[in-house]
Chain A
Amino acid sequence: MKYIDPHIHMVSRTTDDYQRMAQSGCIAVTEPAFWAGFDRSSPQGFADYFRQLTEYEPRRAALFGIRHFTWLCINPKEADDPGFAREVVSLIPSFLQSPTVLGIGEIGLNKNTRNERIILEEQIALAEKHNQLVLVHTPHLEDKLKGTRLIMDSLRASNIDPGRILIDHVEEHTVGEVLDRGFWAGMTLYPDTKMTPQRAADVIEMYGSERIWMNSAGDWGCSDPLAVPKARLEMSRRGHSQALIDRVTLDNPTTFLSQSPNFRLE
């Protein structure tokens, strides 16, 4: 069995997580740039982080036969100071030349502020200018529905094909709108604030398997780097076909990510 975890923050995980993921069938991960649990004090801190994502993590993953790809951005939580955020965004174009960069992400909103939206839209423009894929973070709790709608409005104001944009952390009250508007949808399997494998399987049953994937978003918080294989097991014990399980955990990620010329599994 093979799968891809298309959203996981491996910089926050230990090397034995790579080992356990490889043993569970993981062949590739994609890692969006995100909040480190604290606000970085300078743009240089982000430059170091981007080097870690583009140079160090691919080597660490390769030790276990896992392909590592990345997305670059300033995350919405640290984007509330537009001046600071613009300095970070100005660093990104030079890193887009790295062979494992797939696009801009995870951009989005955190507290649904005007400042966050300004930087979101500037990073959407950056993705459009450089013909990059986009991976979108949506807020997690009561802010999610409002934030998802605001983000989709900003995205639709750009000229990026919605088929090149994945909106992540969808739940039952947002997945329908995301798919209806032509975007891809990501379901995050997370022990506390997001979806369980059971609910993810329910969403597949309700909304189908087109333009949808699931990921662990494993990071420094309570999270599970084996969430995707656990969801595969959940779908299997429920009686779903191997073809459907492979579609949402391997084929769909491959289809979306292959729109970037940098995504190669061989």
Chain B
Amino acid sequence: MSIASYTCPQNREQVVATYFLEHRAKLLDIAAFLDRLDRAPPSSAGADFREVALQQAIRILTDAKPQRVARILSLLSDYSPELPQSAHGMKGASGAVRLVSEPDGILSTGGTPS
């Protein structure tokens, strides 16, 4: 499905005026979370896969390409083909998957995003 362009009723200046402070605060929350991680002693298991996924997702914010939300959600999605028989013993959803390193060095889900 194609994405419509110029469908926001506000112009860029109005969007900034409406949302800047709200998203400034959210950006600071992310910065504070990363600072908190820096202050935390490392675990013996190395970087948590969720932290790796988050760092990779942050790159999408600044790559100047469209559909950032959909691409971040796709990055955080499970593309495994397996279907377990039962949920018995399975952990709850974690919100991210373990990313794999592609030949070009880029981390990905190992699947095919839509």
Is B truly associated with A? yes
Chain A residues with CB under 8 Å of chain B are 80, 110-117, 139-146, 150, 171-173, 176-177, 179-180, 198-199, 202, 205-208, 237-240
Question: Can you list 15 A-B pairs with a CB-CB distance of less than 8 A?
Answer: A110-B87, A115-B86, A116-B87, A139-B93, A141-B93, A141-B95, A142-B77, A171-B73, A172-B73, A173-B70, A173-B73, A180-B1, A198-B19, A208-B4, A238-B9
Query: Out of A113, A145, A207, which one reaches B85, CB within 8 Å?
Result: A113
Chain B residue numbers with a CB within 8 Å of A142 are 76-78, 93-97
Considering the chains assembled together, what is the distance between the CA atoms of A247 and B71 in angstroms?
Answer: 28
Chain A residue at minimal CB-CB distance from B114:
A177
Q: Which residues of B contact A110 (CB under 8 A)?
A: 87
* A residues in contact with B71, CB < 8 Å: 173
Contact A140-B80, Cβ < 8 Å, known A180-B1, A198-B19: no
Answer whether A112 and B83 are a contact pair too, CB < 8 Å, given A180-B1, A238-B9: yes
**B65 adjacent to chain A (CB < 8 Å):** no
Chain A nearest CB from B19 CB (Å) reads 7
Taking a contact as CB atoms under 8 Å apart, the answer to whether B4 and A173 are in contact is no
A-B contact sample (14 more), CB < 8 A, given A111-B90, A238-B8: A113-B83, A113-B85, A115-B85, A141-B76, A143-B93, A145-B78, A150-B83, A172-B67, A173-B70, A206-B4, A206-B7, A207-B1, A208-B4, A238-B18
Give the Cβ gap from B94 to chain A, nearest Cβ, in Å.
Answer: 7
Contact yes or no, A113 B70, CB < 8 A: no
Is B69 a contact partner of A114 (Cβ separation < 8 A)? no
Q: Which residues of B from 89 to 104 have beta carbons under 8 Å from A?
A: 90, 93-97
Give Cα A139–Cα B76 distance, bound, in whole angstroms. 13
* B76 & A115 in contact (Cβ 8 Å cutoff): no
Chain B contact-residue range equals: 35 or more
A110 to B88, CA, bound (A): 12
Contact A239 B85 (CB under 8 A): no
Residues on B with C-beta less than 8 A from A144 are 73, 77
A140–B77 Cα gap in the complex (Å)? 10
Partner of B78, one of A80, A113, A146: A146
Chain B residue contacts of A112, Cβ below 8 A: 78, 83-84
Q: Is the pair B80, A146 in contact by a Cβ cutoff of 8 Å?
A: yes
Find out whether the CB atom of B1 lies under 8 angstroms from the CB atom of A238.
no
Q: How far is the CB of B20 from chain A (nearest CB, A)?
A: 13
Question: Are the C-beta atoms of B94 and A141 separated by less than 8 Å?
Answer: yes
Chain A residues, Cβ within 8 Å of B70? 172-173
Query: In the complex, which residues of chain B have a beta carbon less than 8 angstroms from the beta carbon of A180?
Result: 1
Choose one: A117, A139, A179, A198; the contact of B1 (CB below 8 Å).
Answer: A179
B83: min CB distance to chain A, Å: 5
With both beta carbons as reference points, the residue of chain A lying nearest to B95 in the complex is identified as A141
Query: With an 8 A cutoff between CB atoms, is B74 at the interface?
Result: yes
Query: Nearest-CB distance from B10 to chain A (Å)?
Result: 6
Residues from chain A with a CB closer than 8 A to the CB of B64 are none
B3 in the interface (beta carbon within 8 A)? yes
